[in-house]
Structure 1
Amino acid sequence: MTVVREFHEDYGATFGDIGGRTLPLEYGRSARTHRAVRNVVGATEHAYGILVVEGDDRLDFVDNAITNEVPAEDGEGCYALLLDPQGGIRTDLYVLNAGEKLLVFTPPSKVEDLHEEWEENVFIQDVELSDASDAFGVFGVYGPKATEKIASVFNGGSSPEAHLSFVRGRMGDHGVTVLRDDGLTGEEGFIVVCAADVAEDVFGTLITNGLNAVPFGRDVWEALTLEAGTPLFESELEGVVPNVLGLRNALDFEKGCYVGQEVVSRVENQGRPSRQLVGLVADAVPESGAAVFDGDASVGEVTRAGESEMREEPIALALVDYGLDDEADLTVRVDGEEVDAHVEPLPFVEGSDESDRLPRYD
């Protein structure tokens, strides 16, 4: 459930279910809102499950479970994955080192299972786990003026510059943590975390104080991340081996073993995953799951698609056969008909930042 529902209602939001959480989908005039974020700045409420990990063995415990190295310094974070025995992605997550505790941010639908699983795996280690998903408000600020926006309302230090680094300070009378986003929208971005009981004041500050920011919902978020070439958990990541996605920023092959690492390492060493994630431009917007054809041969399927507000044409992400010719004359199936499509380099839209999740196969 959103922690600031009345605020969203006052701005005319319509709501939907995001991983079991009720959040705004849109506020009307989505095209204008989309362009406002791309040209200036916007703010949105995010849905995350939040697991708090405490105890002297917290770093080793989490590090042994995930695909990336847990940062050892307060104020640093990483993006990582939890894999199944076949190397497929069970969930993605962010791990933030907050001094005496780690904060683990997951898709909201995954936090309960992760909490139970990690509780079962605590033996003699000094580790304490708690689900704090309802204790925080989490907001995102995105756009080429996002740094300026944060600077106009944040007291206590300068905005963090490195991706997934964070600082603590105040917005108005309330303590907040400000994290530099990893470029998911293709624009400068920050995550603002605060206590749930002051979330309405903090979100109001982000929208109206200092440099104004337009509020936007999940529909615009998905459109922005699609233009940026960012794979998302629900549409691209779940169940897929990370090498297929070219998801290099989530993997550290120098660290010790984690579940699924052997499979991922074997694919990496072969240098040839079975499929790859590409961008497509098509003559019409296909549905997720639509088949992609090279002549009469099926070569993949669409994972997510939409009408790009910035390019004014249909765009899509698709998982296709590895090594597919970039110049191939492709088609995708739309409403039972095949329409022309071609591979397009990612990102579709270049903004003020670049997504760390852009597929990389070198």
Structure 2
Amino acid sequence: MTVLREFHEDYGASFVAVGDRDLPADYGRPERTQRAVRNAAGATEMAYGVLVVTGDDRVDFVDNAVSNHVPERDGEGCYALLLDPQARVRTDMYVYNADDKLLVFTPPETAGDLAEEWRENVFIEDVEIREATEEFAVFGVHGPKSTEKIASVMNGGTPPDEQLAFDRGRINEAGVTVVRTDGLTGEEGYDVVCAAADAETVFDTLLTRGLNAAPFGRTVWESLTLEAGTPLFEYELKDRIPNVAGVRNALDFEKGCYVGQEIVSKVENRGRPSKRLVGVRLDDTTEGGADVHHDGDAVGELTRVRYSRSLDAHLALAYVAFDTPADATVSVDDTRGELTELPFVEGSDRSARLPTY
């Protein structure tokens, strides 16, 4: 459940389930909202589960479990994957070094199981893990004016310049941590983390004080991230092999990672993948999961289809056979499509998850 349901309802929100939470779908007229984010700034409630990891061995413990190197200095973060023994993605996460603890942000539906599993795998290490999802609220601010937006309301700190770095400060007397995001919408962006008790004060300030920001929901989020070529966990990453998804920013190529106490092979996967993630511009809409055909042969499947209000076009992401021509004409159900280089839209930032092969 959103921490601010009545607040969102007052703004006219409808809701959608994201994992095990209800979040705003949109506030009406999403085409205007999307233009506002692309041209200035918008604010949204983010869907994260949160783990708090403490103890002297916390960095080594999490570092051994995930696909990327966990930062050792306060104020830094990384994007990482948890893999199964076949090196498929079980969940993705952001890991932030917050002085005497690590904060781990996951898709909301995976946090509880991950906390339990990690606790079971603590043996002689000095590590404690707890789920703390209900203790925090996280709001995203995105758009080419998002830095100015944050600067106009943040006291005692400054918006960080580097992706996944963070600074601490206050917004309307509430303590906040402000993280520079990794460009998932194709625009400059920040995650604003606060105590759940301060959620209404912080979100209202983000919307109405300083430089204004338009509220937006999951409908616009999924369209913006698709335009930016960003694979999302629930559509493009779950149960995929990392080098097929092309999310090379989640990988430290020289390390292995563990499932329980059994090592998963190094995550470098240097061989050519069987498929790659591409953009498709469609003549008409269709459903995610639909087969993609080229020259009469099935070569892949769509993962996510959305109407782009920025381009006035039906866009999709798809996994296709790796050797499918980059500019191939394809058919999907009863409509025609063209494979397209990602991102579809160039904004004020570039998604760090943009598929790379």
TM-score normalized by the length of structure 1 = 0.96
Q: 1:262 is matched with which residue: 262, 265, 273?
A: 265
Q: Contact 2:55–2:101 (CA<8 Å) still a contact in 1?
A: yes
Q: 1:343 is matched with which residue: 321, 339, 343?
A: 339
Q: Contact 2:157–2:170 (CA<8 Å) still a contact in 1?
A: no
Q: CA shift at 1:157, angstroms?
A: 2.2
Partner of 1:82: 82
Query: Partner amino acid for 1:298?
Result: A
Question: What is the rounded CA distance, in whole Å, between the counterparts of 2:285 and 2:267 in structure 1?
Answer: 33
Question: What secondary structure is seen at the aligned counterpart in 2 of 1:138?
Answer: strand
Question: What secondary structure is seen at the aligned counterpart in 2 of 1:284?
Answer: coil
Partner of 2:350: 354
Question: What secondary structure is seen at the aligned counterpart in 1 of 2:69?
Answer: coil
Q: CA shift at 1:326, angstroms?
A: 1.6
Question: What is the rounded CA distance, in whole Å, between the counterparts of 2:210 and 2:349 in structure 1?
Answer: 22
How does 1:321-336 map onto structure 2 within 5 Å? 321-333=321-333
Q: Contact 2:44–2:141 (CA<8 Å) still a contact in 1?
A: yes
Q: CA shift at 1:258, angstroms?
A: 3.3
Question: What is the rounded CA distance, in whole Å, between the counterparts of 2:202 and 2:255 in structure 1?
Answer: 39
Per-residue deviation, residues 150-181 of structure 1 (Å, max 9, x unmatched): 00000112210000000000001111000000
2:317 aligned with 1:317? yes
Per-residue deviation, residues 26-71 of structure 1 (Å, max 9, x unmatched): 1000111111111110000011100000000000000000000000
Partner of 2:181: 181
Partner of 1:236: 236
Partner of 2:91: 91
Q: Which runs of 5+ in 2 are unaligned?
A: none
Question: What is the rounded CA distance, in whole Å, between the counterparts of 2:280 and 2:61 in structure 1?
Answer: 41
Partner of 1:55: 55
Partner of 2:164: 164
Partner of 1:149: 149
Question: What is the rounded CA distance, in whole Å, between the counterparts of 1:263 and 1:137 in structure 2?
Answer: 35
Partner of 1:34: 34
2:300 aligned with 1:300? yes
TM-score normalized by the length of structure 2 = 0.97
Q: Percent identity between the aligned chains?
A: 62
Question: What is the rounded CA distance, in whole Å, between the counterparts of 1:302 and 1:181 in structure 2?
Answer: 27
Per-residue deviation, residues 277-305 of structure 1 (Å, max 9, x unmatched): 00011101221101100021000000001
Q: Contact 2:288–2:303 (CA<8 Å) still a contact in 1?
A: yes
Query: Partner amino acid for 1:61?
Result: F
Q: Which runs of 4+ in 1 moved over 6 A?
A: none
Query: Partner amino acid for 2:118?
Result: W
Q: How many residues align?
A: 354
Q: CA shift at 1:327, angstroms?
A: 2.9
Question: What is the rounded CA distance, in whole Å, between the counterparts of 1:304 and 1:127 in structure 2?
Answer: 39
Question: What is the rounded CA distance, in whole Å, between the counterparts of 1:34 and 1:106 in structure 2?
Answer: 25
Question: What secondary structure is seen at the aligned counterpart in 2 of 1:341?
Answer: strand
Q: CA shift at 1:253, angstroms?
A: 1.4
Query: Partner amino acid for 1:359?
Result: P
Per-residue deviation, residues 227-276 of structure 1 (Å, max 9, x unmatched): 000000000000000000111000001224434742743x31x2x10000
Partner of 1:205: 205
Q: Which runs of 5+ in 1 are unaligned?
A: none
Q: Contact 1:241–1:264 (CA<8 Å) still a contact in 2?
A: no
Q: CA shift at 1:346, angstroms?
A: 0.5
Query: Partner amino acid for 2:75?
Result: G
Q: Contact 1:137–1:194 (CA<8 Å) still a contact in 2?
A: yes
Question: What is the rounded CA distance, in whole Å, between the counterparts of 2:25 and 2:339 in structure 1?
Answer: 29
Q: CA shift at 1:137, angstroms?
A: 0.8
Partner of 2:132: 132
Name which of structure 1's ranges 228-237 and 305-314 shifts more when overlaid on structure 2: 305-314
Question: What secondary structure is seen at the aligned counterpart in 2 of 1:43?
Answer: strand
Over the aligned positions, Cα root-mean-square deviation in angstroms equals 1.0
Q: CA shift at 1:87, angstroms?
A: 0.8
Question: What secondary structure is seen at the aligned counterpart in 2 of 1:23?
Answer: strand
2:106 aligned with 1:106? yes
